[in-house]
Amino acid sequence: MSGSRCQTLYPFSGERHRQGLRFAAGELLTLLQVPDGGWWEGQKEDGLRGWFPASYVQLLEKPRKVTPQPGEDSLNCPLPPGWQSYMSPQGHRYYVNTFTNANGYHTPVTPMHQMEPGHMSLRKPSGDPQSPGSPRVPRRLARESSRTINCVTFPHPDTMQEQQLLKPTEWSYCDYFWADKKDPQGNNTVSGFEILLQKQLKGKQMQKEMAEFVRERIKIEEEYAKNLSKLSQNSLAAQEEGTLGEAWAQLKKSLADEAEVHLKFSSKLQSEVEKPLLNFRENFKKDMKKYDHHIADLRKQLASRYTAVEKARKALTERQKDLEMKTQQLEIKLSNKTEEEIKKARRKSTQAGDDLMRCVDLYNQAQSKWFEEMVTSTLELERLEVERVEMIRQHLCQYTQLRHETDMFNQSTIEPVDQLLQKVEPAKDRELWVQEHKTGDIRPVDMEI
């Protein structure tokens, strides 16, 4: 896929990524690297290179023929085992896994990455296209199409259009942690990002505990090796002679060899398993804190801007009421002074409307910044988690490899013993011993008188 062209769907600042590529919506990029993990490298038309979330772009070469047409029941490809599909009254295809009760919609409208770029926002697939920040006359309908929870604005569930997941096939962190959650005690809310962070910290803890476990194993091996080595130097039956004595001496020596094997195992466990596990991501907690603070700061900013919006909205309402009242007074009294006041009230009302629009704009900018940070940070956490699991897997494989080698080496310590035991020969041993200890081979004879 490297070398392919793609078009950006949403603006991306790239600020939080070391080599992030800043772009607006609708730009054309050439793909340079497309590794797994959700981050791709691309080059803009002006030559700038950098990284961005793969979900922010659509591939231009993607064949259109497989696209389901709106309203058409084109999804007649076989479903995976256990899945069934239903059509909802709104024309949405609904999937249910009959084993797990997992379920989900598939919206029959054109998938997001095939829509015209630049005409929609990732965060706002609803209603009329509009560029963010452009002030408009408030509409009652618009207000009901969304609701704000903990200062974050979500589409209203009753009226919202189906959202396509950013990474539909991957159970990606960036798709499932937008809402806050009551903590188990029900006293505080915990942000989705906080839950992801806790997962990371727990993962780091698990990794540390595995290293501790390996350390315990190392101790056991060292102790075992020490005992074998000590026993090997024991003088028991050291006076056994001949070929049997040689085999016995080798058997004792084999314990020292075994000790050596286990000592080597423990030392390799330390250098190739324990240490890498311990040293992997030394400043991990500190880094996680930074993520945490950054996202939390953005949420705080969002909250304060939300307060400003609410205040501006209240002010506007008051000004509108004031204008309405003055207009009614004018109808009754018809005085010059009143007309002057109406003009003033209208001007103030318009000003309050502008204020509100400015506040909403600022709020939306903050929410947009938080949104982008959420996507990039959760994708980074996801990458880190994959890395952690892979790293641990690799070092546990190293553990089994070392265990395997230990058994192999251990077997080889016994071979010379076996060889000498095959050579044990009682007759040979007797010969050696008799030669050394014989007292006389002249037999007695009868005494003669």
From 148, 233, 328, 350, residue interacting with its own copies (rule: CB under 8 A): 148
- The answer to whether 229 touches 255, Cβ cutoff 8 Å, is yes
Q: Which is nearer to its own copies, 38 or 50 (CB)?
A: 38
Residue 35, helix vs strand vs coil = coil
For the segment 88-107, give every residue that binds its own copies (CB under 8 A).
Answer: 102
User: Rule CB under 8 A: is residue 231 a binding residue for its own copies?
Assistant: yes
Of the CA atoms within 13 Å of residue 403, those in its CB half-sphere come to 10
Q: Which is nearer to its own copies, 20 or 132 (CB)?
A: 132
For the segment 177-196, give every residue that binds its own copies (CB under 8 A).
Answer: 177-181, 191-192, 195
For its own copies, which stretch binds (CB under 8 A), given 13-21, 48-56, 224-232, 333-341? Answer: 224-232
From 6, 25, 57, 228, residue interacting with its own copies (rule: CB under 8 A): 228
User: Rule CB under 8 A: is residue 66 a binding residue for its own copies?
Assistant: no
User: Rule CB under 8 A: is residue 318 a binding residue for its own copies?
Assistant: no
43: β partners: 30, 49
User: Rule CB under 8 A: is residue 139 a binding residue for its own copies?
Assistant: yes
For the segment 374-413, give every residue that binds its own copies (CB under 8 A).
Answer: 382, 385-386, 389-390, 392-393, 396-397, 399-400, 403-404, 407-408, 410-411
Enter the tokens of residue 377.
């940070």
Enter the tokens of residue 286.
């500190």
For the segment 319-358, give every residue that binds its own copies (CB under 8 A).
Answer: 356-357
Question: What CA–CA distances, in Å, run from 180 to 152, 191, 269, 424?
Answer: 10, 4, 43, 78
The residue among 379, 388, 385, 383 whose CA lies nearest residue 52 is 379
Q: Which is nearer to its own copies, 8 or 406 (CB)?
A: 406
Q: How far apart are the C-alpha atoms of 211 and 214, rounded to whole Å? A: 5
Burial 332-350, CB ≥16 within 10 A → b, else e: eeeeeebeebbeebbebbe
User: Rule CB under 8 A: is residue 158 a binding residue for its own copies?
Assistant: no
Enter the tokens of residue 448.
């003669």
User: Rule CB under 8 A: is residue 125 a binding residue for its own copies?
Assistant: yes
From 77, 332, 334, 427, residue interacting with its own copies (rule: CB under 8 A): 427
